Amino acid sequence: MARLPNHEGLANQEGLADWVPGRLAEERPVVTVIGDSILDGWWEGTIERFCREAPAPVVQVQRRDFAPGGAANTAMNLAAMGAEVRFVSLIGEDPAGRTLLGQLRSTGVDVSHVVAHSAMTTTTKYRVSSGGQVMLRLDDAATEIPDAGLEEMAAAVPEAIRGSAAVVLCDYAAGALEGPVRNSILRHLGPRGDTTDSPDSGPSRQDTLVVVDAHHPGRWAELRPDLATPNAQEAARLLGTEFPGGAARCPFVEAHGDQLLSASGAGAVVVTLDREGTLTIRRKAPQDVATHRTWARPEAEKQASGAGDTFVAALTLARSAGLPLTTSVDLAQAAADVVVHRPGTSVCTTEELAKHLRGFADTALTATELAQHVDEHRRAGRRIVLTNGCFDVLHRGHTRYLNQAKQLGDVLVVALNSDSSVRQLKGPERPVNHEADRAAVIAALSCVDHVTVFDTPTPIPLIELLRPDVYAKGGDYTPEMLQETEAVERCGGTVTILDYVPEHSTTAVLERIRSTGETPKS
């Protein structure tokens, strides 16, 4: 399988935008999804009166839409992004089950391993809305899971996972992954290195990525999955504690990273935090945990559902195709951002993801345009953070610094030195990348909200125009050393000096490239 160079995050977003629809379509990695199916119903209508029997609105239904949800939505997203998908689940022999199977088949998902049982009820969630506002949700689900259906589903697992590049377990505690199904998964997809390639044991874990998306991730700890993707509530349950709200959640998760890894048994844990993005935790060394943050790009509430399924699908596909973990998480965040801006349950296609990534190109704003955006943010009560730099060859030191800067406020503005000013600062051989390319790369980072280019000796004119609440600077400076400090404080802001990471300097990266011809690995 072809591999993309080991870039940090979405640093090569333009290359990714071209690679996503092409390479994934060519490679078509086989991904098996095993889990609880849901049929999502979205019924939209108008309200003109209240019913006589009770003080309840009467919704005159004008439109009925149905879409696969839960594990079925993960399968749909994987297929839409170019994977060859096998689906293993248990549904009923009812209209909802037939609708679900029909929609899965229409997108090319292999449903030959889906068990339809007469004693099973297909879980259906009907959302009744008017004017874009959900008024009521009706859930129709099985009260008992037929043992015969579970036995049949368990028997389908070995063949479904054989030869798969990845397996996703979508365990929403609805019953499909209980008893014999769980035993079959553990037997045929045991911890990495514990299985053989015999007909009885299934494929070797050496060749299979295992992702656990579960309400109770600890339940699959003995499987030692490569990735676990709990949301905040599921991660809190894994730790046996409650999470703080708002901006405090991410630092709390980071502080408990070691416990999350141990409790989940996973090689890496990606905690999804809804509007606050995600935090990835992986073990760098026995006593050292590394993290990577992404930031969501939320818009007005659109009653979207299933963005988490899209995230898991894109993350799985990117990792199974050989992308680095940090790049895969950023790509998954981008895919989730696509669907969260739509009403209902939807999927992100390769073309839509590529278009979204390309949209970051040529995104540098003029000072006037930027000032207008900042004024809008300030009227909404958002705290503005400004930082500046060359950001020529993006590396881990840069992304760590920018993520720290983002956490100082609500909106992060990055001002890039123009090509001419970089030459004055760094010498005639710099910059390596043109200012338009540097702007596109920086804009693609989920922590960055706006990018501009400045050509003055210092960013003081921009500071006086934008009047940021915080001016962030990295390196071995003190506020007293910076010419900008007086302007920032005169405008009512504060100066914050962030971590200096000398081992990840651009100069060091360039020297290594020149000496070895290789890009440093993340």
Phi first, then psi: give them for residue 343, nearest 5 degrees: -75, 155
Contact between 370 and 352 (Cβ < 8 Å): no
For residue 388, give the nearest of 436, 457, 444, 440 by alpha carbon. 457
Identity (one letter) of the amino acid at 343?
P
Query: Cα separation of 68 and 96, whole Å?
Result: 10
Query: Cα separation of 135 and 326, whole Å?
Result: 39
Query: Cα separation of 289 and 283, whole Å?
Result: 5
For residue 317, give the nearest of 343, 342, 263, 353 by alpha carbon. 353
Residues marked active site are found at 309
Query: Cα separation of 517 and 370, whole Å?
Result: 39
Query: Cα separation of 285 and 282, whole Å?
Result: 9
Query: Cα separation of 491 and 371, whole Å?
Result: 14
Identity (one letter) of the amino acid at 206?
Q
Identity (one letter) of the amino acid at 10?
L
Query: Cα separation of 13 and 356, whole Å?
Result: 10
Query: Cα separation of 489 and 479, whole Å?
Result: 11
Instruction: Say if residue 298 is preceded by a cis peptide, omega within 30 of 0.
Output: no
Query: Cα separation of 202 and 158, whole Å?
Result: 6
For residue 422, give the nearest of 437, 403, 400, 405 by alpha carbon. 437
Q: Between the CA of residue 246 and those of 230, 268, 384, 495, what are the distances in Å? A: 17, 23, 18, 24
Helix 71-80 × helix 95-106 angle, to 10° = 20
Which two three-digit tokens encode residue 24? 């994934």
Q: Is 516 exposed, middle or buried (0-12, 13-18, 19+ CB in 10 A)?
A: exposed
Helices (H) then strands (E): counts for the chain: 18, 21
Q: Residue 247, Cβ neighbours under 10 Å: how many?
A: 11
Contact between 4 and 289 (Cβ < 8 Å): no
Query: Cα separation of 466 and 221, whole Å?
Result: 49
